[in-house]
């Protein structure tokens, strides 16, 4: 590879810089330059969620009302009867009662599969984008 591309010619000679890693996790990378003391931050967008502070209510095809809240992992749907469904940013779903599955948008609504169970929300969408079935 070095014979095909002379990468040494792309960079100035006698130039060096070192940085200390201040923070490194799945969302942020922060370094501090040892020579100039400047802090450099690189933030990663986590998932494809659009966060909202208000609670949203959705009704499934069986007329069960769910209150939807959002967190960094996706959405949490809680029914009046206490059933909880998790809809993740990576289009995964889970319920303690029915198990795991997938979720997404289809036919102008939202579908959640949980094992053999399918929960549908006709003509309704969550604030998570990019999931389709």
| Residue ranges of the chain with per-residue pLDDT less than 70 | 1-17, 25-28, 44-54, 126-130, 132-133
Per-residue tokens: 87: 């809809």
Alpha-carbon distance of 73 to 128, in angstroms, equals 10
pLDDT value for 6: 60
pLDDT value for 101: 94
Task: Give, in order, the Cα–Cα distances in Å from 72 to each of 4, 62, 69, 79, 92.
Answer: 45, 28, 11, 20, 14
For residues 108 and 26, the answer to whether their CB atoms sit within 8 Å is no
pLDDT value for 113: 92
Q: Which residue has the tokens 């986590």?
A: 46
pLDDT value for 47: 54
């Amino acid at each position: 590879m070095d014979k095909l591309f002379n990468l040494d010619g792309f960079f100035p000679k006698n130039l060096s810089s070192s940085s200390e890693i201040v923070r490194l996790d799945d969302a942020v990378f922060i370094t501090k330059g040892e020579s100039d003391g400047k802090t450099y931050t690189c933030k990663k967008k986590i998932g494809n969620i659009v966060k909202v502070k208000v609670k949203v209510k959705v009704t499934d095809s069986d007329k069960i009302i769910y209150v939807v809240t959002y967190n960094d992992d996706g959405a949490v749907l809680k029914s009046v009867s206490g059933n909880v469904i998790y809809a993740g940013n990576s289009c995964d779903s889970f319920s303690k009662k029915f198990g795991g599955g997938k979720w997404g948008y289809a036919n102008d609504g939202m579908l959640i599969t949980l094992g053999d169970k399918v929960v549908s929300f006709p003509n309704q969408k969550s604030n998570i984008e990019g999931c389709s079935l």
